[in-house]
Amino acid sequence: MLRPLTTDDIPAVAAIQAQPGVSKWWGEPTEEDLREKVDGTEGVVPLAIEVDGELVGLIEYHEEEDPMYRHAGIDLFLSEHVQGQGLGTDAVRTLARHLIHDRGHHRLTIDPAADNLPAIRAYEKVGFRPVGLMRRYERLPGGDWHDGLLMDLLADELRGER
């Protein structure tokens, strides 16, 4: 289930983001960053990912509203103990449906680290396709620059429509 992230969720989300398998890609969390997500000052819409009432991750989106470039972007992380179970694919597909059908987007983007193969495979299952390698795209924990993979999905390419 996806639901709006609240300030009460911040400690649980921070604990998930601090896990080595998550912070490797996202960096160390700060309460201030998470509060900015919740109150909307960071420019994203954050959603909690829940399974059987347990908060297991965060998924968020941002929207480009300029009519010439209108699209939405997605990002997410999951707790280590639920990774590899298809929850990321399901969460991305669920949010993609919302962004396409309810928010009217014709194109979505996602930009995993180029060496995050499990994430890339999960996004491909939804229908995202590689667009190109963004060299030295992001500075991950440790200070080194890493490549990112820009992927996109057009509305008619969404897989798993019911």
% of the chain exceeding 70 in pLDDT: 99
Average pLDDT over residues 136-146: 88
- Does residue 162 carry a pLDDT above 70? no
> Does the pLDDT value for residue 2 go beyond 80?
yes
- Listed by start position, the domains of the chain span 2-157
Residue 121 confidence (pLDDT): 96
The predicted structure's pLDDT at residue 133: 98
Distance separating alpha carbons of residues 51 and 13, to the nearest angstrom: 14
pLDDT band at 113 (very low <50, low <70, confident <90, very high): very high
pTM of this structure: 0.93
- Calculate the dihedral angle through the C-alpha atoms of 14, 19, 23, 29, rounding to the nearest 10 degrees: 20
User: Residue 88 is inside which H or E element, if any?
Assistant: helix 87-97
Task: Name the CATH superfamily housing domain 2-157.
Answer: Gcn5-related N-acetyltransferase (GNAT) (3.40.630.30)
